[in-house]
Structure 1
Amino acid sequence: MWRIDRRILAQFDFISIIFIMPLIFISHWLIGEVVPMLAQKHTAYVFFAFLAFAVVFFLPIRRMNWMIPIIYWINILLLVAVEFFGHSRLGAKRWIEIPFVHATIQPSEFVKPALILMLAYLISKAPPPPDGYRIKEFLKISAYILLPFILIAKEPDLGTAMVLVMIGFGVLFFVGVYWKIWATIFVAVVLMFPIVYTQLLHDYQKQRILDFVAEKPSYHVQQSIIAIGSGGWSGKDKDDATQTQMRFLPIATSDFIFAYVVERTGFLGSLFIITMYILLILHLFAVSVYHDDYYIKVVASAIAFMIFIYMSVNIAMTMGLAPVVGVPLPMFSYGGSSFLNFIILFAVMENLVSFRFKDSYDSRGTKSFL
């Protein structure tokens, strides 16, 4: 008889879902206050994302791991295709048009889960020794990280490229690399920074850094700081949140949504949002440490690093503590691609955790998890 196996359901990580749901509901509420039409679209994004979650969750991922390198290289080919067939917007060539439907996709968004799965595949095939990977294994895995980094940085989209490389090397740091390799990389980065700044950065990227170090912040950051400062202890009513309602605060539903959080809900509301993120990150690292399975270890730690990087950069940016880059607040800012990426990654993690004993269940007579 086909039925849901309770032993599999018992392994499901409900704690992550508990931390995610308040972020989704509060985000929808705030987006609806600013632009009601966007809230309707955001609802559609959430619906399709959780539909994708259900599909991915029930896939036999462990038995399909041979497809992971194929998925990775397809994403690399899409990044290469951007160079030849991509569409430019505001001086950046990042999009590919889908034939016949006149819609575009941004391959750099899809490469994140592809890279994370590829790292899980590579590390599970050749786990690190007790003292960490040595130079040969480190360079091999690093090549898979640096290839999409170079292609995305060339678009140019340095923000996404830097996020990608930090996630990749964050995972390697977490699973273990010989300490002398990290020391060498640190020294090399410090020495190469002047060359990177003068020779590789585009003018608008240099301007963002100059705006960051300037005595007076840019207009966007000024308005964001005003919104944050006006929120006080418990925030303002909707009609009194003038920075957002009168459109002084730019991009209040995406890049600068945290500033609206503080203006609307004050210190207490922003503290609650940050606490949800911190608890989620700590929980994901706990999941990673608890399991010896390198698929779970890599995917859980990669999601934790990804959330931490996005959250910290976005919040620091709104307060003038980091250069302005197009990094959304994870699962909170308006936008379908980023939200879908996170939900799919959580679905992969939940699948790996919930079905890790499925083969032993089946061998004892359970027909199926359905």
Structure 2
Amino acid sequence: MMIDRRILTHFDFLLLLIVFPIVAMSFFLINEASQSMSIKQSIYIATGFILFWIIFFIPFRKLEKSISVFYWLCILLLLAVDIYGTTKLGAQRWIVIPGTGLSFQPSEPVKVAIILMLANIIYHNPPPREGYHLKDFLKISFYIILPTLLILKQPDLGTALVVLLMGFSVLFLIGVNYKIWIFILIVILVASPLIYGSLHDYQRKRINDFISEKPSYHVRQSVITIGSGGIFGKSKEDSTQTQLKFLPIATSDFIFAYYVERFGFVGAMILVGLYILLILHIFSYCFIDSKDYRLRVVASAISILIFFYMGVNIAMTIGLAPVVGIPLPIFSYGGSSFITFMVLFAILENLLAFRFNFEYNSNPFKNINKKGPLAQLVRALGS
């Protein structure tokens, strides 16, 4: 099937060029740690890239009703976790795909659903010059708060906070009246003791470990691992913190510490630099067209997600944030988060490449007035 060449001119190849080295370094570490895990990760990576090209050709700008259906389907999956969900590491967050042995977290596709839903709503009801007022703000906030509460119930405080912050950060960038933000800030400050008291015991323990003078065992081992990497890192045989299993959850939550032990401070700066470049590159698309709210919402949401995930995960490994189950985006072991980001990248690429309503095998001159001067010029050029 032929594709209009103009689509390729608007395809963001730089996005994939930034993503590839991050994925490659991740696979190298996972394969070094466990060959069995690397086999599963290769399946996740292949699935992610296949879905990327499939989803890239879905006309998201024309699927308004389907987006609503997808959103509510994700809500049903979150509800199904209570009935069919499996428990790992003390939390019931996963649903096993029958006959495959593979599992996924419904909290991952719901991020995609929220972003698409916000993009759809804001496109049809753009903010006035002074920003959204209370009525519109509450309507839009409902689609953020509902899945947040369901994720929090699993319990998954880290993901719930990321979803909440992502959604309201997008609204902040799109435009909400400043009086609403002041009111929300006051409510949070007043209700903070009640919020803390409603947390689970292990969640309060993580906060207490964070503010105490002596960090938890996980964080201590992570800091030791990072420090042992030095400037240029160590060989596999000399990476004793990881190889001797002193570093817990080395390929997922604390993979950054594992990476720094292998590649040192220089390697850490390269990885962080790639993430910063990726975030700024995606965020730059928010300024292409101020009226293209679909593109603005999706670009800002993806860049915010990567920023929160990267920032919290790295801060967690060096003791600057509480330990929460937030992976390093497209780097930590696991399929749910990786595939979610590949889907989001595909949606972004679709909105970029097809923002001028290009069609496959389209004739770029089919809508020209046959008697107009431009049509005469086209015929003259053709002859």
Task: Provide TM-score, normalisation by structure 1.
Answer: 0.94
Contiguous gaps of at least 5 residues in structure 1 = none
Deviation at 1:317, TM superposition (A): 0.4
Q: Which residue identity does 1:28 align to in structure 2? A: F
Question: How far apart are the structure 1 equivalents of 2:96 and 2:31?
Answer: 29
Deviation at 1:220, TM superposition (A): 0.9
Q: Which residue identity does 2:143 align to in structure 1? A: Y
Give the structure 2 partner of residue 180 of structure 1.
Answer: 179
- SS state at 1:28 partner: helix
* Residue deviations 1:75-101 (CA, integer Å, cap 9, x gap): 111212223443344443323344566
Question: How far apart are the structure 2 equivalents of 1:78 and 1:110?
Answer: 9
* Residue deviations 1:247-268 (CA, integer Å, cap 9, x gap): 1111111110100111111111
* Residue deviations 1:210-256 (CA, integer Å, cap 9, x gap): 11111111111111000111111111111111101111111111110
Question: How far apart are the structure 2 equivalents of 1:185 and 1:240?
Answer: 51
Give the structure 1 partner of residue 144 of structure 2.
Answer: 145
* Residue deviations 1:278-309 (CA, integer Å, cap 9, x gap): 11111111111223311111011100000000
Question: How far apart are the structure 1 equivalents of 2:161 and 2:346?
Answer: 24
Give the structure 2 partner of residue 106 of structure 1.
Answer: 105
User: How well do the aligned residues superpose, as a CA RMSD in angstroms?
Assistant: 1.8
The 3 A distance-change label for structure 1 pair 104 and 270 is: closer
Give the structure 2 partner of residue 211 of structure 1.
Answer: 209
The partner residue of 1:269 within 248, 267, 270 is 267
Give the structure 2 partner of residue 227 of structure 1.
Answer: 225
The 3 A distance-change label for structure 1 pair 86 and 360 is: closer
Task: Check whether the contact 1:54–1:347 (CA below 8 A) recurs between aligned residues.
Answer: yes
* Residue deviations 1:297-327 (CA, integer Å, cap 9, x gap): 1011100000000000000000011111110
Question: How far apart are the structure 1 equivalents of 2:161 and 2:343?
Answer: 21
Q: Which residue identity does 1:216 align to in structure 2? A: K
Task: Check whether the contact 2:104–2:335 (CA below 8 A) recurs between aligned residues.
Answer: no
Task: Check whether the contact 1:217–1:320 (CA below 8 A) recurs between aligned residues.
Answer: yes
Identity rate, percent: 54
Deviation at 1:348, TM superposition (A): 0.5
The 3 A distance-change label for structure 1 pair 4 and 249 is: same
Find out whether 1:350 has 2:354 as its counterpart: no
Larger Rg: 2
Deviation at 1:363, TM superposition (A): 6.5
Question: How far apart are the structure 1 equivalents of 2:224 and 2:23?
Answer: 25
Question: How far apart are the structure 1 equivalents of 2:181 and 2:90?
Answer: 35
Give the structure 2 partner of residue 131 of structure 1.
Answer: 130
The 3 A distance-change label for structure 1 pair 363 and 332 is: same
Q: Which residue identity does 1:364 align to in structure 2? A: P
Q: Which residue identity does 1:226 align to in structure 2? A: I
Question: How far apart are the structure 1 equivalents of 2:262 and 2:39?
Answer: 20
More off after superposition, 229-238 vs 161-170: 229-238
Task: Check whether the contact 2:6–2:358 (CA below 8 A) recurs between aligned residues.
Answer: no
Number of equivalent positions: 365
Contiguous gaps of at least 5 residues in structure 2 = 368-383
Give the structure 1 partner of residue 19 of structure 2.
Answer: 20
- SS state at 1:38 partner: helix
